[in-house]
């Protein structure tokens, strides 16, 4: 059974509030009753709960937590982001695969999703735990027209999109820890890694990778005090494909806003509302030496404004910023 056929049937079922008769599905898709029956049986075998009532038809009651091409494509509502999709059961890392695809000519908006990563990495080359079947590992390929000095703000745009999507889908209050983490109840649930490749002085492509701890139940001892999952914090399993789609929808919305000004000007208030660094004691690990101060949120360039204890203000462009009460900083 082709993936595209399953996708089409799922799209029809998701788009209808009432039952769809086998005849209706046959007419819309141009397939036989036998083909419809085969698709429905395969979907049931994969864990989809489909009601079949004589003289009424089929209705989708519930979907399993599976990340497959059919499941992702049947949910897709974006114009560009994630419209083209590459799913792999196992990959070294989605960022590495996205770079390979970009080098081979992949279009703007390609989304690479993996069931498991074997070499997942975060900022500064840190390892990223990648268990199978419970979390989200994905990377978006972007081919922007803006200058390279704007690229770092894409991490902030993705952080805002992901935090909002988590709130939309789970009801949990997700906060942003500048520049690239999302936290729930002061523990990390998301890491974001954006990488840029230049051609002469222009951006050839960006890859923006997102790892989300969704349904993971337990964590290795070395990170148990700093990491959590949406399941641990909310007490219920979430559909990962639904969350992926919501992140893409939110990112497409915010990316368009960002591109209009090529700054965080029109996103700054919403971003700062979710920022756990705001009005908090922070420690900045600067190459010239670490210092303490109070964060006052980001500016239009996405820099973190930090007031040192001596009253001077710094606009932090890059580096590590610890927030008191998060990840063990007291």
**288 pLDDT tier (thresholds 50, 70, 90):** confident
Calculate what percentage of the chain has a pLDDT beyond 70. Answer: 95
For 236, other C-beta atoms within 10 Å of its C-beta total 9
Q: Within this chain, do residues 205 and 309 fall inside the same structural domain, yes or no?
A: no
Q: Within this chain, do residues 222 and 145 fall inside the same structural domain, yes or no?
A: yes
Decide if pLDDT at 229 tops 90: yes
149 three-state secondary structure:
helix
Give the structural domain span for 287.
277-323
Q: Considering the domain boundaries, does residue 328 fall inside one?
A: no
* Secondary element (H or E) of residue 116: strand 111-117
Report DSSP state, residue 107: P
If 0-12 CB within 10 Å is exposed, 13-18 middle and 19+ buried, where does residue 145 land? exposed
Average pLDDT on 113-135 reads 73
From 37, 62, 87, the end of a domain falls on 62
Q: Within this chain, do residues 82 and 199 fall inside the same structural domain, yes or no?
A: yes
The alpha carbon torsion through 115, 121, 150, 160 (nearest 10 deg) reads 60
Q: Within this chain, do residues 203 and 110 fall inside the same structural domain, yes or no?
A: yes
Q: Within this chain, do residues 106 and 245 fall inside the same structural domain, yes or no?
A: yes
CATH code for the domain of 160? 3.30.930.10
Q: Is the Cβ–Cβ distance between 325 and 282 less than 8 Å?
A: no
CATH code for the domain of 22? 1.10.10.10
Q: Within this chain, do residues 172 and 91 fall inside the same structural domain, yes or no?
A: yes
Decide if pLDDT at 126 tops 70: no
Q: Considering the domain boundaries, does residue 329 fall inside one?
A: no
Q: Render pLDDT for 36-69 as a digit per residue (tens, 0 to 9).
A: 999 999 999 999 999 999 889 999 999 999 999 9
Report DSSP state, residue 136: E
For 106, other C-beta atoms within 10 Å of its C-beta total 20
Question: Number of folded domains in the chain?
Answer: 3
Identify the CA nearest to 53 among candidates 63, 61, 45. Answer: 61
Q: Within this chain, do residues 232 and 96 fall inside the same structural domain, yes or no?
A: yes
Q: Is the Cβ–Cβ distance between 159 and 192 less than 8 Å?
A: yes
Q: Render pLDDT for 22-35 as a digit per residue (tens, 0 to 9).
A: 999 999 999 999 99
Can you give the pLDDT at residue 330?
41
């Amino acid at each position: 059974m082709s993936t595209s056929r399953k996708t089409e049937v799922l799209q029809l079922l998701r788009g209808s509030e009432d039952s769809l008769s086998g005849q209706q599905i046959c007419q819309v898709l141009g397939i036989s009753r036998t083909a419809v029956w085969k698709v429905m049986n395969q979907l049931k075998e994969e864990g989809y709960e489909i009601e079949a009532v004589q003289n009424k038809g089929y209705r989708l009651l519930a979907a399993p937590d599976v990340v497959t091409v059919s499941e992702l494509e049947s949910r897709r509502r974006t114009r560009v982001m994630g419209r083209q999709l590459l799913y792999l059961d196992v990959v070294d890392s989605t960022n590495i695969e996205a770079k390979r695809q970009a080098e081979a000519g992949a279009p703007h908006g390609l989304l690479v999703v993996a069931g498991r990563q074997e070499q997942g990495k975060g900022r500064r080359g840190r390892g990223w735990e990648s268990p199978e079947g419970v979390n989200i590992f994905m990377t978006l390929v972007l081919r922007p027209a803006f200058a390279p000095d704007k690229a770092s703000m894409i991490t902030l745009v993705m952080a805002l999109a992901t935090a909002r999507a988590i709130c939309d889908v789970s009801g949990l209050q997700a906060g942003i820890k500048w520049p690239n983490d999302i936290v729930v109840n002061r523990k990390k649930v998301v890491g974001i890694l954006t990488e840029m490749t230049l051609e002469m002085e222009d951006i050839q492509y960006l890859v923006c990778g997102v790892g989300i701890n969704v349904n993971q139940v337990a964590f290795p001892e070395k990170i148990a005090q700093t990491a959590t999952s949406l399941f641990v914090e909310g007490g219920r399993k979430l559909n990962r494909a639904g969350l992926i789609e919501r992140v893409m929808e939110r990112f497409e919305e915010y990316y368009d806003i960002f591109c209009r000004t090529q700054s965080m000007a029109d996103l700054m208030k919403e971003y700062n509302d979710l920022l756990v660094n705001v009005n908090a004691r922070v420690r900045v690990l600067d190459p010239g030496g670490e210092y303490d101060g109070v964060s006052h949120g980001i500016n239009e360039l996405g820099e973190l404004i930090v007031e040192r204890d001596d009253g001077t203000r710094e606009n932090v462009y890059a580096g590590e910023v610890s927030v008191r009460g998060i990840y063990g900083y007291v």
